[in-house]
């Protein structure tokens, strides 16, 4: 046995292309080699952190050799994963944007994790119970587990505390309702004649971010963005979303406290850091950036509400593509469980600024220590109590874009909220039509 393994190793070392292609099964006798695709949505340092994490895993698991493959942004990672699946060489595990899971499941591209959970002797409830309840919606499809939450975020309200004090506002009592926020934004806007030198608030709107902010505002206005149980419906033309978009529109054109037009995320954070915007709504993922760059005192708070406190989650889950060999599946499952364990989850959270999905991570001494030093990181975790899943539908991206294109027209003063949302609904219904044709409208 040992001899044959050595022989195999020798053969493999000879680097013969042909043998590797002809006898893929024999290669399994060494450590199981698995690939992990990972995106870096925030900044370059994460790639190094991921290298550290995987090295530690390999040292602790001699029978598995995991390789971390950097695959660009969330969108790029989806493209590369799909290309690899099509080429017949799927990666064993992928860190996938949490709202792509449903779309992939509909396309039969995901491994159902139920069997692996059962083989471990745990029930689905026990397994999911480790994670914050808000994160489970994006990991479970039709009552089966398809993803394991890895790093997550929620939107936050960031306040320039110095400017608030200057305007006679108390940053220790941040605005809790839209009315209060509007009032704060008015007091924080400074003008010189026609020219605004300081904006009260900035809310990002570029593809991806815009849909997430619309979901945020709609939820805090009592609404839902989509049908959480079924991927064929979105609720764009509804009073709750109309209220949300009208308020955003009013901040620009009625109260004149928000810069006109669609502003991408980096522009919003730069504007806040430079003092050009006194408040902003942005992901918890930007907290580390703000902490490192703000030359003033800042304060983070929950997203204010009009009807109820509610925000969507963002971030990514670990998934396994469909069609993996049993051995790789097993090895990838070991990796996934290790990466989402309380210690590793907490370590990753401190390195990146995302919050740790595993609740037990917050009981580890390192994390308790970190939160005492950085109380602002606590707000994101507390807000999880009112968080709900991220929108995910059939063809999530085009359906989201159907809304975003119309919202951008509104923010630029080219359309009124009501007609924009009616147009968005119509376009989205059209995009969702093929899926409905084979599900909700496929009748006996």
Partner 1 sequence: MDVLKRFSNRFKASLPAYLLLLPSLVFLALFTYGAMGRVLVDALYQRATPKAPVRFVGLDNISAVLADPAFTGAVVNNLVYAVGTAIPSIGLALLFALALARTNAVSSALRAALFLPVLIPMVAASALFMFIFLPNVGLLDYYIGRLLPVLPNWLGDPDVALYAIMIITIWKNAGYYMLFFLAGLQAVPEDVMEAAHLDGAGPYRRLRHIILPELKPTFLFVIVIATLNAVTQVDHVFVMTQGGPSNSTNLVLFYIYQQAVEHYDVGKASAATLLTLAALMGLTALSFRTMANREGGP
Q: How many residues bind partner 1 (CB under 8 A)?
A: 45
> Cβ closer to partner 1: 233 or 404?
404
In the complex, least distance from residue 291 CB atom to partner 1, rounded to whole angstroms: 20
> Cβ closer to partner 1: 340 or 425?
425
> Cβ closer to partner 1: 149 or 417?
417
Task: Compute the distance between CA of residue 309 and CA of residue 220 in angstroms, rounded to an integer.
Answer: 5
**Does residue number 409 form part of the binding site for partner 1 (CB under 8 A)?**
yes
**Does residue number 429 form part of the binding site for partner 1 (CB under 8 A)?**
no
Distances (CA, A) of 333 to 20, 319, 328, 379: 25, 9, 8, 32
List CB contacts of 437: < 8 A, sequence separation 6 or more.
none
Site string for partner 1, 233-262 (x = CB under 8 A): --------------------------xxxx
Residue written as token pair 């309702």: 177
**Does residue number 163 form part of the binding site for partner 1 (CB under 8 A)?**
no
Applying CB under 8 A, among 19, 58, 177, 270 the residue interacting with partner 1 is 270
**Does residue number 227 form part of the binding site for partner 1 (CB under 8 A)?**
no
Check: CB of residue 131 under 8 Å from CB of residue 149. yes
Count of CB atoms situated within 10 Å of the CB of 8: 17
Check: CB of residue 392 under 8 Å from CB of residue 224. no
Buried/exposed 261-274: b ≥16 CB within 10 Å, e otherwise: ebbebebbbebbbe
Which range of residues in 116-124, 155-163, 359-367, 432-440 is near partner 1 by CB under 8 A?
432-440
Applying CB under 8 A, among 49, 237, 250, 405 the residue interacting with partner 1 is 405
Distance between terminal CA atoms of the chain?
58
Applying CB under 8 A, among 43, 120, 419, 438 the residue interacting with partner 1 is 438
> Cβ closer to partner 1: 61 or 82?
82
In the complex, least distance from residue 405 CB atom to partner 1, rounded to whole angstroms: 4
Longest dimension (CA), the chain: 85
Which range of residues in 128-136, 241-249, 367-375, 408-416 is near partner 1 by CB under 8 A?
408-416
Count of CB atoms situated within 10 Å of the CB of 5: 11
**Does residue number 414 form part of the binding site for partner 1 (CB under 8 A)?**
yes
> Cβ closer to partner 1: 156 or 410?
410
Residue 313: which of 103, 102, 155 has the closest Cα?
155
**Does residue number 398 form part of the binding site for partner 1 (CB under 8 A)?**
yes
**Does residue number 205 form part of the binding site for partner 1 (CB under 8 A)?**
yes
List CB contacts of 402: < 8 A, sequence separation 6 or more.
236, 424, 427, 428, 431
Task: Compute the distance between CA of residue 225 and CA of residue 216 in angstroms, rounded to an integer.
Answer: 9
Look at the alpha carbons of 50, 99, 245, 172 in this order and tell me if their dihedral is positive or negative: negative
Check: CB of residue 153 under 8 Å from CB of residue 314. yes
Applying CB under 8 A, among 24, 51, 133, 266 the residue interacting with partner 1 is 266
Residues near partner 1 (CB under 8 A) are 75, 78-79, 82, 103, 106-108, 193-196, 199, 205-207, 259-264, 266-267, 270-271, 274, 276, 394-395, 397-398, 401, 404-406, 408-409, 411-412, 414, 434-435, 437-438
């Amino acid at each position: 046995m040992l001899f044959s393994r050595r022989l195999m190793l020798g053969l493999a070392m000879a680097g013969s292309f042909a043998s590797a292609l002809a006898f893929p099964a024999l290669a399994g006798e060494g450590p199981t080699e698995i690939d992990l695709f990972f995106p870096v949505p925030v900044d370059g340092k994460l790639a190094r952190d991921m290298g550290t994490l995987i090295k530690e895993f390999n040292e602790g698991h001699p029978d598995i050799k995991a390789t971390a493959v950097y695959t660009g942004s969330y969108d790029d990672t989806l493209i590369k994963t799909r290309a690899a699946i099509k080429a017949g060489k799927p990666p064993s595990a992928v860190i996938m944007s949490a709202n792509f899971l449903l779309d992939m499941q509909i396309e039969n591209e995901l491994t159902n994790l139920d069997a692996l959970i059962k083989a471990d002797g745990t029930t689905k409830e026990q397994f999911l119970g480790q994670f914050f309840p808000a994160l489970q919606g994006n990991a479970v499809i039709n009552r089966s587990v398809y993803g394991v939450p890895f790093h997550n975020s929620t939107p936050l309200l960031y306040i320039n505390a110095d400017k608030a004090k200057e305007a006679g506002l108390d940053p220790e009592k941040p605005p809790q309702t839209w009315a209060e926020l509007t009032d704060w934004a008015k007091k924080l806007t400074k003008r010189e004649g026609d020219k605004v030198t300081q904006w009260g608030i900035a809310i990002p709107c570029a593809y991806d971010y815009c849909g997430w902010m619309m979901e945020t505002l709609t939820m805090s206005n009592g609404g839902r963005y989509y049908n959480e149980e079924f991927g064929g419906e979105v609720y764009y033309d509804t009073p709750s979303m109309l209220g949300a978009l009208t308020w955003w529109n009013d901040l620009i054109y009625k109260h004149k406290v928000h810069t006109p037009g669609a502003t991408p995320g980096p522009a919003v954070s730069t504007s806040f850091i430079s003092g050009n915007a006194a408040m902003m709504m942005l992901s918890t993922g930007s907290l580390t950036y703000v902490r490192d760059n703000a030359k003033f005192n800042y304060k983070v708070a929950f997203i204010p509400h009009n009807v109820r406190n509610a925000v969507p989650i963002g971030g990514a889950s670990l998934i396994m593509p469909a069609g993996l060999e049993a051995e790789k599946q097993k090895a990838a499952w070991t990796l996934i469980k290790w990466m989402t364990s309380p210690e590793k989850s907490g370590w990753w959270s401190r390195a990146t600024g995302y919050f740790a999905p595993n609740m037990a991570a917050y009981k580890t001494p390192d994390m308790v220590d970190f939160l005492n030093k950085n109380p602002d990181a606590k707000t994101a975790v507390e807000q999880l109590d009112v968080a709900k899943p991220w929108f995910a539908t059939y063809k999530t991206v085009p359906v989201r874009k159907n809304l975003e294109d119309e919202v951008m027209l509104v923010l630029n003063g080219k359309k009124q909220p009501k007609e924009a949302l009616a147009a968005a609904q119509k376009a989205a219904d059209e995009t969702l039509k093929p899926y409905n044709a084979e599900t909700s409208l496929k009748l006996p």
